[in-house]
A and B are shown apart, each in its own frame.
Chain A
């Protein structure tokens, strides 16, 4: 017990931590998929010509971006049941983190959309493309390619924010490490390993995004 880092014990708890990290990665994947779609919708709504709509969306995005994820998750998990919407901790957590990051990705998309040259919009207009074809065929392919690195940063950031969900009893990597620690009163190994897992997985995510960026770059 006196050894600095008990490798035997570390090997013993490894399977539980691996399972929990798989869970964490799944939450991240699902949450980020929602955030990617919702963020795009928010970004396009924010460009709407209806002033109240664009202002309203802008305010909501700004509000969510400048308040802590932890409290937003609390709201989803503790306040919504008062109004009759009950979600499991896992659902509330995933939805919460997805909403939070949708606001960040919407800002990223906004920057990408603003970066598309004006002539492209005018050309689409001159060809009398429908709004749908304008976005899907002309604007988005250019806008999204430019912002993939920024989106990738948010994927990693989102992954690193998943431990916040432990506050509403989602058993992800961090919570699992803490549970193991409280069972055996050895916190050094589980929490250090959780930290290492986070480092490894976020580096992997970053690599994947870099590869995607490379694959999608314009010739």
Chain B
């Protein structure tokens, strides 16, 4: 058991790295796609919708394989490192789901808030940044936490495109030592702990986002 731990830990670090990078990309993509879908210009809206529907409608593994196997071949000649493929694939996939969450959360902000901000003559950017988004975040964070756990679990698929993450290390150790039961149990526990840490972290952000809000409703 003791000699397994360092190697699994190395894989865990890779998993965390991929999860963090692709979460950041997913957040960026969620905002970009939502902005595109709410744009006044129709073609931009179509692009946003097509992106969300295509990435939500197909399997994550298919997307990863598409980036990994199809892009290097003739028509594209675009060879990406496995790490890049993992981050781009996960980021685009979960960004599409995130965009749906964000859209729902923006819609949940009462229209009066928008009109009040308009009446105060705030610029569109200030309106979004200071009035709409802070309120939307309260509704967006709980489903976003679930999505981040999905993303963390999704990182296990990158082992199938030769990236040495936690799952890959587990498979490798399994083939080398045949301590199958211990290795996979330990791997499951590591993923579980990572997910719990993520949940605790997001609870903190949820509390911060709703700071002051709950007090107001109590009064």
Binding site for B on A (CB under 8 A): 1-2, 4-5, 63, 65-72, 74-75, 78-79, 82-83, 160-164, 166-167, 174, 177-178, 181, 185-188, 191-192, 194-195, 198-199, 202-203
The answer, yes or no, to whether B140 is at the interface (CB within 8 Å) is no
Given contacts A66-B153, A70-B167, A202-B57, contact A195 B159 (CB under 8 A): no
B125 in the interface, Cβ–Cβ < 8 Å?
A: no
Binds A, one of B25-33, B40-48, B184-192, B207-215: B184-192
Taken together as a complex, chains A and B put the C-alpha atoms of A68 and B73 apart, in Å, by 30
Q: Are B188 and A75 in touch, CB under 8 angstroms?
A: yes
B1 at the interface (CB under 8 A from A): no
Q: Nearest-CB distance from B131 to chain A (Å)?
A: 31
Task: For B182, give the chain A residue with the smallest CB separation.
Answer: A79
Contacts of B54 in A (CB 8 A): 199
Min CB gap A201→B, angstroms? 9
Contact B62 A70 (CB under 8 A): no
Expressed in whole angstroms, the minimum distance between the Cβ of B1 and any Cβ of chain A is 15
Taking A69-B153, A70-B157, A187-B70 as contacts, is the C-beta distance between A82 and B180 under 8 angstroms?
Answer: yes
Interfacial residues of chain B within 49-65, with CB under 8 A of chain A in the complex = 53-54, 57-63, 65
Fill in one digit per residue for B65-85: 1 if any A CB lies within 8 Å of its CB, else 0: 110011001110000000000
The answer to whether B66 and A195 touch across the interface, beta carbons within 8 angstroms, is yes
With a cutoff of 8 Å between Cβ atoms, the chain B residues found around residue A164 in the complex are: 61, 157
Task: Using CB atoms, name the residue of chain A closest to B75.
Answer: A4
A191 contacts B69, C-beta separation under 8 Å = yes
- Give chain A residues whose Cβ lies under 8 Å from the Cβ of B69: 178, 181, 187, 191
Query: In the assembly, what is the distance between CA of A75 and CA of B59, in Å?
Result: 22
Contacts of A63 in B (CB 8 A): 188, 192
Tell me the residues in window 107-162 of chain B with beta carbons closer than 8 Å to chain A beta carbons: 149, 153-157, 159-160
Is B103 an interface residue, CB under 8 A from the partner? no
The reply to whether B73 and A191 form a contact with Cβ atoms under 8 Å apart is: no
A66 with B149, Cβ < 8 A, contacts A160-B59, A167-B160, A203-B57 known: yes
Mostly helix, strand, loop or mixed at chain B's interface?
Answer: helix
* A66 engages B196 (CB within 8 Å): yes
Interface size of B as a range? 35 or more
- A71-B70 contact in complex given A163-B61, A195-B58, A198-B58, C-beta closer than 8 Å: no
Is B65 a contact of A174 with CB atoms below 8 Å?
yes
Cross-chain contact B153 with A67 (CB below 8 angstroms): yes
* B57 contact set on A, CB distance < 8 A: 198-199, 202-203
Q: In whole angstroms, how far apart are the Cα atoms of A69 and B62 in the complex?
A: 16
Which residues of chain A come closer than 8 Å to B62, judged between CB atoms? 163, 174, 191, 194-195, 198
Check B65 against A178 for contact (C-beta < 8 Å).
yes
Are the C-beta atoms of B191 and A66 separated by less than 8 Å?
yes
Please give 17 more A-B residue pairs, beta carbons under 8 A apart, in addition to A1-B74, A70-B159.
Answer: A66-B191, A67-B188, A68-B155, A68-B157, A69-B153, A78-B184, A79-B185, A160-B60, A161-B59, A164-B157, A174-B65, A181-B69, A187-B73, A191-B62, A191-B66, A195-B58, A202-B58
Q: Within the assembled complex, what's the spacing in Å between the Cα atoms of A198 and B59? A: 7
A160 touches B58 (CB 8 A): yes
CB closest residue in chain A, given B157 = A70
Residue of B at shortest CB range from A165? B61
List B contacts of A187 (CB < 8 A). 65, 69-70, 73
Q: When chains A and B are docked, how far (Å) is the Cα of A82 from the Cα of B178? A: 10
| Complex-state Cα separation, A203 to B159, whole angstroms | 28
**In this complex, what residue of A is CB-closest to B69?**
A187
A174 and B61 contact, CB distance less than 8 A: yes
Q: Which residues of A are found within 8 Å of B96, using beta-carbon distances?
A: none
**A70 and B156 in contact, given A78-B174, A174-B61 (Cβ under 8 angstroms):** yes
With known contacts A160-B59, A174-B61, A188–B70 Cβ distance under 8 A: yes
